[in-house]
Each structure stands twice: as structure tokens, then as C-alpha cells.
Amino acid sequence: MSIDKTIQRLKQKLSGRYQLGEERHNLCGRTIGVTCVEDAEELFSRLIISDPNSVELLDERLPYWATLWQSGIALAEYLRAKKPLAVGESVLELGAGLGLGSAIACLQRARVTATDYMPDALQFTRLNCLQIAGREPEAFLLDWREPPQDKTYATLIGADLVYEARFFDPLITSFDTLLEPDGRVLFSEPNRQMGRPFFDRLDTAGWKYTPVLEKSDATVYEIRRGDALHRRGPPRSAEGR
């Protein structure tokens, strides 16, 4: 199936479930449009009203993925500006959401795998990668509490992943399980105070991190095992969302 037909099919499928919108952002001189959910807040309300005892609410599978957060834009800016990914490099995005990070990695001709906890997030990721980069990544559902044991990647990317303390340890375990021995994580965090303990956990687990892009509303870090990088703490700025 051609790229245009695949895009049309995905849009038709998603528009049956969501009111689609588009966000446009200038990344290093190129305006990039990201198909998103028009009113993400309405998704929260609809989920609560429809079934307050649903597995989505009980397991807190809330539609954070439906919003393009500022930390995701910062990660995309870094990938676009610094071009840290080599052609053919194996890259996995954790918590892909709408897929902007995966799309920029596809633009750089990396070998991209997108993952998320929610199936519809992966459909939006496929759509945005095709629209932005003309390429579709491999994609599979991933629960950080049970990362696959048979897959490793040179680079992991992710944005705004430490919004709940219960995810800190599973996320670090996923880093260790999914990353090649000399690999790195490119990780964007919106400078929230609640995210600081995550970096303490990284220290305790033997990981080192350093900022590679610092903005008022988000910081991108490179994270590696051991002593490869000099550690600097996350900025003490106002909390994000």
C-alpha cells in the first residue's frame, strides 16, 4: 500500500474515535505538523463518565499520550538541531505518544522502533511518522514493568516519562534491559520538582547523566551507564504541568 493510502486509512480509522486536530511547530527552520487529538481534556472527562471502574482508570492508563507536551518538543528540537543519530542506528522511543520523537528519528534515517502502553498512541505515531518522514517505524506495545528480554537498542529516546514516582524503578529497569552495553538514553524532562527523585534513583543505580539542551520549560539529558559522563543535577525551576 502506498504512503498516501496508508495515511488516509489511518486518518479514517482514528477520526472514527477522535476529533483530529493539528499542531504546527518550527523545528530548525522546518514547520512540522503533528496530527493530534483536538480536545485531549475531553478524553479524560469521557473516560471518567463512561466507566469510573474501567481498567484504564484503575491502572491509570490516562490519555497523556494525546497531548504534545513541551518536553517532547524540546527532544525533537535537540534531535533536529544536533542530529545525534546515525543512519541505520537502532533507536527505541519509550512512551511515544503522538510520535514526534520517532518521526524526527525517522527523518534522520535511523532504524526506529516506537513503543507505548496504549494502542491508539501507536496508531497516531505511525500516522505522524508517515506524514513527517515518509517512513513507518516498527511499533509494539510496551509496559515498563515487563520489558522484553530479547531486544536491545543503541539509543533510547523519551520525553516526560517520570510524572509518577511508581514509574521510576520500572523505567530504570527498562533502560538497563533495552539498552546496548555502550548505549545511551536521550531523555527530556519538563523541569518538575517531582522529577528530581528520579535522578537520585539513577545515581543510586550507577547511571550518569548530563544536560545536552537546557530550556526554561524542559531539559534534554544524555544518560549512560557508569562514569562515561560528568553528572549535573536537573535544574531547580518551576514545575511543569
Q: Burial-class residue 59 by CB neighbours within 10 Å (0-12, 13-18, 19+).
A: exposed
Q: Burial-class residue 206 by CB neighbours within 10 Å (0-12, 13-18, 19+).
A: exposed
Whether 50 is covered by a domain: the verdict is: no
Whether 8 is covered by a domain: the verdict is: no
Whether 22 is covered by a domain: the verdict is: no
If residue 154 lies in a helix (H) or strand (E), which one and from where to where? strand 153-159
* CATH number of the domain encompassing residue 197: 3.40.50.150
Whether 135 is covered by a domain: the verdict is: yes
What angle do the packed helices 119-133 and 100-107 form, to 10 degrees?
A: 30
The pLDDT of residue 228 is above 80: no
DSSP string covering 194-238: GGHHHHHHHHHTTEEEEEEEE-SS-EEEEEEETTSS---PPP---
Domain count, the chain: 1
The least confident of 18-32, 45-59, 114-128, 190-204 is 45-59
The pLDDT of residue 46 is above 90: no
The pLDDT of residue 74 is above 60: yes
Whether 172 is covered by a domain: the verdict is: yes
Q: What is the pLDDT of residues 131-146, one digit of tens each?
A: 999 999 999 999 998 9
Residue 114 β-bridge partners: 93, 139
Whether 230 is covered by a domain: the verdict is: no
Whether 139 is covered by a domain: the verdict is: yes
The least confident of 4-13, 57-66, 169-178 is 57-66
Whether 52 is covered by a domain: the verdict is: no
pLDDT at 176: 96
Domain assignment of residue 180, given as a range: 69-225
pTM beyond 0.85, yes or no: yes
Per-residue DSSP letter, 167: G
pLDDT at 48: 56
